A and B are shown apart, each in its own frame.
Chain A
């Protein structure tokens, strides 16, 4: 199967590969997938007190499309408020990277990773964040 140019580009020059220290209080870590399924994605988001994603890192065990999806997602979420980031749909990734149908699940994994990372950040911030009330609002543009 031939890969789209964008997948190849992200695969060759992945953005934001790496890890933040897990115990930093403003970092949320999402690990999704499973090794026996052949795909594990770890996404970390550094989130400010105002709920804005300041930085992101990923590591991915998976096919080239999974690596490209996670690389793209780190770029996509940076500067976004978590309320907005959490609504990102995998279809955005599919469209940007031109993923064929068999690779859609790789983009779903990336979407799940965002949600998992934000949930982790909320949990670690304490009760009001974990309650799902979302006390933080995106700043008016």
Chain B
């Protein structure tokens, strides 16, 4: 029997894998030492666990263990990377290159620097698949550029950017390259050393680990990257991030990375298959639906679809035993449709109609079939209720209508 509700929102967060939880539990109850306590076994035990986790994480992402700095999550990592670099290298320049489809943690860190007069930022556009053009990155570089920040894979549309190409340009020009790799690690092969990434943000809760723990990768050689810390205190994590280490969380992040790395080849294949099944099923049953994002350069578990003539929130309401998310304005606090979908240059109406399916480790074929069926039926029902669908069927060009709103 299918268990409901069905969770298919794995880009938002994931369930903690029981293997991860098992690894963490002793660090709450018996091994509760402070990793900074140098004088007793409780501290040593905790420090050992943290070291092991650093190794597990480093192995997944092509890093050395000393290049891993623990934080409270990717929002903090993004802030630390962007503000930390701009502040540290202020004598070298003040220009940052980013992209319009970045996560808010990146965009708002950039905006904060702009507001404070500490940086000017170029936000590069994307093409219709949501990909940033490496040549556009190259052209945007000035002699004042100190940082490029481009994500590995987008959290809404799943598009994977040409990170290695951008890394190469950054190396050539001697500019520090930060990458928000939250959605990519553990899902697709990631090697920061090889890709020329100098700083990267990761978080545990997108890879079946706990919320509130993440890390920043900080390259130690070629070049050695320096940061102005954003948190003052006891000088933990080589002075870059003060604060007593969240040992159980760190153990969880480490275990999550190890499992993800081990299972990635088969799991990625399995997710691609489920995703294809979902996509094919929806296209079979419905006309006028559109995939948002890149057809091939895309996260295995991601499917973002616009169901024309149906507003996203009303669709979510109809499929209330399925957890997915929408780029519709009606679901957002600001009543603005998704800036990521809009950046693809498609009609705003289709942004309101977009649904993000995020398949993950615990989704099954049975769930995919159920979701396909449920979503198709609800889209059909709502289209019967949609004045836009009716007009389109009558051959009226919706763009030619003079809407009075």
Contact = CB atoms under 8 A, between A and B. Distances in A.
Bind each other: yes
A17 interface: yes
B405 A62 contact: no
Contacts of B54: none
Given A40-B403, A63-B314, A31 B387 contact: yes
Nearest to B342: A36
A22 to B, nearest CB: 10
B175 to A, nearest CB: 38
Contacts of B403: 31, 33-36, 40
Interface residues of A, number: 28
Q: Report whether over half of chain A's contact residues are helix, strand or loop; otherwise say mixed.
A: mixed
Contact of A42 (B310, B384, B387): B387
A41 B330 CA distance: 15
Contacts of A14: 385
Interface in B291-338: 309-311, 313-314, 317-318, 328-331, 333, 335, 337
A40 B314 contact: no
B398 interface: yes
Contacts of A141: none
Given A11-B317, A36-B348, A60 B405 contact: no
Contacts of A42: 387, 390
Given A17-B385, A60-B385, A67 B347 contact: no
B386 interface: yes
Interface in B351-405: 352, 384-390, 398, 403-405
Given A32-B405, A36-B348, A64 B387 contact: no
B17 interface: no
Contact of A38 (B318, B337, B398): B337
Most buried by A among B311, B318, B331, B387: B387
Interface of A: 3, 8, 11, 14, 17, 19, 31-42, 59-64, 66-67, 102, 105
25 contacts: A8-B317, A11-B317, A17-B384, A32-B404, A34-B404, A35-B349, A35-B352, A35-B388, A35-B398, A36-B348, A38-B328, A38-B335, A40-B403, A42-B387, A59-B385, A59-B387, A60-B385, A61-B388, A62-B330, A63-B311, A63-B317, A63-B330, A63-B331, A66-B311, A66-B330
Interface of B: 309-311, 313-314, 317-318, 328-331, 333, 335, 337, 347-349, 352, 384-390, 398, 403-405
